[in-house]
């Protein structure tokens, strides 16, 4: 049994090495690569990806899992193994069976259809014309239905799709949490709309990019971003990627006329980086040194961006320095006006520009439509109409064309259905964890006001980051909070914060 386990760890080291190389190629693609490098880079990336797919689906894993006593009824394997080794066995079992259940012909068909669909989507969005993209999306929905059948599910085919990103969560569980969110957020947004709007004009003026970068780097330093193990660069779309256990890259973009974009973008990506850098030492080289789920990953980035970064305490520490950096832009703007401006709420059509309150409503809209498409209750041709209806119900506004509605996101063109819910689940988990963090560090705000971020990071390291993929999201949530997933802490947080800001 020991030998089988050692062999699994050996195979995992190869897989992790390939993952790191693939990530580095991707990072370079988006940060440094000259435009015309793209064709050969695609070949290089595809080559590494197929090598890594071969390694993950190596039939040897099947034999090793048998030797370790793992089965569908008992994916953790033999009880004589240590707890962490059993969790590694479970992760291997899950990956191996998930990957080998899907026929190679379907994987190839997915790649072929989505590579065309992505370029058509770009064109269709430019022309704001859904009819161009529609036949491609029909194929993508059909391929996802086939995928769900191969992956397997009990209640709803959408369960199988969402499970790829958020292990072991069901459509019904998501629907329950999203109903709680919807019932609380729709009236809150309505009340905010009726209240006096806050002024944000001083944020929308020229802020020199070099100074934005300088301030962003100072914030990273202060919150504990370790420049020996991580770095910040620029790219068109901000992202975080992991080259190795001691090498995590984050990126941002600087908009000269919107200072908040890079500022909160950096803090958001730092939250992702802290997670990637915080896995337990003992997991190094294995697949347990990875995120628990996309929802948990996003809970960390949103915690830093919103709970910490858009909080009063954070700015009572940083505002003097920020104002010193931008004296003209912020002349006459006190901290209270600044705090309100960075937390302005307003229903808007574009998800990626949404504020903290309306953001989850954008996600609920997509979840409802995806669930109906996959449940065959909605046809692709009726999608723009359904989008309008949902948008009116959830946000009180309707798109003025396909580009600001059904064509705005890249996800479907890439074949991803079931991904969106993880963004809102991140908010939900994040505030559940925050409630516990506040219980255990009662003077959290005082610490933040004094610029003491180390205790927060240490708490997250111990309670969230270290566990990596050894827990399922629901096990982690239960372990940290003593409760299953619940929207209540997030809803309470939003109500308290925004009733104060909008004087409701
Ligand atoms: Mg993120």
Confidence band, pLDDT 50/70/90 cuts, at residue 39: confident
Contact 120, 44 (CB under 8 A): no
The arithmetic mean of pLDDT across residues 123-136, rounded, is 98
**Looking at 166, 269, 276, 368, which residue is catalytic?**
269
Higher pLDDT, 236 or 487: 487
% residues pLDDT > 70 (the chain): 100
Q: Tell me if residue 170 falls in helix, strand or coil.
A: coil
- Residue 1's pLDDT is 84
Give the per-residue pLDDT at 299: 98
Q: Which protein residues have their CB within 5 A of the ion that is ligand 1?
A: 301
Please state, rounded to an integer, the average pLDDT across all residues of the chain: 97
User: How far is it, in rounded angstroms, from Cα 191 to Cα 194?
Assistant: 5
Bridge partners of 247, per DSSP, are 244
Query: Which of these, 233, 237, 203, 206, lies nearest to 220 by C-alpha position?
Result: 233
- Angle (CA) 482-498-191 rounded to 5° is 115
Quick one: which H or E segment has residue 42? helix 38-56
- The residue count of the chain comes to 504
In the reported structure, the alpha carbon of residue 269 is separated from the centroid of ligand 1 by a whole-number distance in angstroms of 7
Note if 269 is an active site residue: yes
- Percent of the chain clearing pLDDT 90 (strictly above): 96
Cα of 429 to ligand 1 centre, how many Å? 14
Q: Please, are residues 181 and 491 in contact by the beta-carbon 8 Å criterion?
A: yes
- Residues 134-150, mean pLDDT to the nearest whole number: 98
Distance CA 244, CA 169 (A): 28
Tens-digit pLDDT profile for residues 168-185? 999 999 999 999 999 999
The CA distances from residue 425 to 125, 175, 177, 183, 281, in Å, are 28, 11, 9, 16, 27
Q: Look at residue 104 and tell me whether its pLDDT is greater than 90.
A: no
User: How far is residue 378 CA from its own chain's centroid?
Assistant: 27
* 111 vs 503: CA distance, rounded Å: 51
- 270 CA distance to ligand 1 middle (Å): 10
pLDDT tens readout for residues 266-282: 999 999 999 999 999 99
What is the distance in A from the centroid of ligand 1 to the CA of 67? 39
What's the whole-number mean pLDDT along residues 381-402? 97
Give the mean model confidence (pLDDT) for residues 441-448. Answer: 98
Residue 42 has pLDDT above 90, yes or no: no
């Amino acid at each position: 049994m020991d030998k089988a386990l050692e062999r699994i760890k050996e195979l995992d080291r190869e897989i992790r090495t390939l993952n790191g190389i693939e990530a580095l190629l991707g990072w370079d693609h988006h940060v440094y690569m000259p435009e015309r490098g793209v064709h050969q880079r695609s070949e290089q990336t595809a080559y590494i990806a197929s090598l890594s797919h071969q390694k993950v689906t190596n039939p040897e894993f099947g034999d090793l899992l048998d030797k370790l006593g793992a089965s569908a009824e008992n994916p953790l394997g033999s009880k004589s193994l240590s707890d962490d080794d059993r969790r590694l066995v479970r992760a291997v079992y899950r990956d191996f069976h998930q990957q080998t259940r899907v026929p190679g012909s379907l994987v190839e068909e997915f790649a072929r259809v989505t590579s065309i669909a992505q370029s058509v989507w770009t064109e269709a969005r430019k022309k704001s014309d859904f009819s161009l993209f529609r036949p491609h999306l029909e194929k993508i929905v059909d391929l996802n239905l086939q995928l769900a059948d191969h992956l397997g599910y009990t209640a709803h085919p959408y369960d199988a799709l969402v499970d790829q990103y958020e292990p072991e969560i069901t459509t019904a569980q998501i629907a329950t949490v999203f109903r709680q969110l919807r019932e609380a957020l729709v009236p809150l947004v309505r009340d905010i709309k009726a209240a006096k709007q806050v002024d944000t004009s001083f944020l929308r003026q020229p802020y020199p990019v070099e100074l934005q970068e300088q301030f962003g780097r100072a914030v990273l330093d202060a919150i504990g971003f370790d420049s020996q193990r991580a770095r910040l660069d620029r790219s068109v779309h901000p992202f975080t990627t992991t080259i190795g256990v001691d090498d995590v890259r984050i990126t941002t973009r600087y908009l000269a006329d919107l200072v908040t974009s890079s500022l909160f973008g950096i803090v958001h990506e730092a939250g992702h980086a802290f997670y990637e850098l915080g896995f337990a030492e003992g997991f190094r080289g294995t697949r347990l040194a990875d995120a628990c789920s996309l929802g948990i990953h996003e809970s960390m980035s949103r915690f830093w961006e919103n709970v910490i970064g858009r909080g009063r305490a954070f700015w009572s520490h940083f505002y003097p320095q920020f104002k010193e950096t931008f004296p003209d832009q912020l002349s006459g703007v006190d901290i209270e006006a600044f705090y309100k401006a960075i937390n302005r709420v307003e229903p808007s059509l574009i998800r990626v520009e949404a504020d903290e309150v309306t953001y989850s409503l954008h996600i609920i809209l997509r979840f409802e439509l995806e669930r109906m498409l996959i449940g065959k209750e909605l046809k692709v041709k009726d999608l723009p109409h359904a989008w309008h209806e949902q948008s009116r119900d959830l946000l009180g506004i309707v798109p003025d064309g396909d580009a600001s509605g059904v064509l705005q996101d890249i996800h479907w063109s890439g074949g991803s259905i079931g991904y969106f819910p993880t963004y809102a689940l991140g908010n939900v988990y994040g505030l559940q964890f925050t409630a516990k963090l506040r219980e255990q560090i009662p003077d959290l705000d005082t610490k933040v006001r004094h610029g003491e971020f180390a205790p927060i990071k240490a708490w997250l390291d111990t309670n969230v980051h270290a566990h990596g993929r050894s827990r399922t999201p629901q096990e982690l949530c239960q372990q940290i909070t003593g409760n299953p997933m619940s929207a209540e802490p997030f809803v309470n947080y939003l109500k308290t914060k925004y009733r104060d800001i909008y004087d409701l």
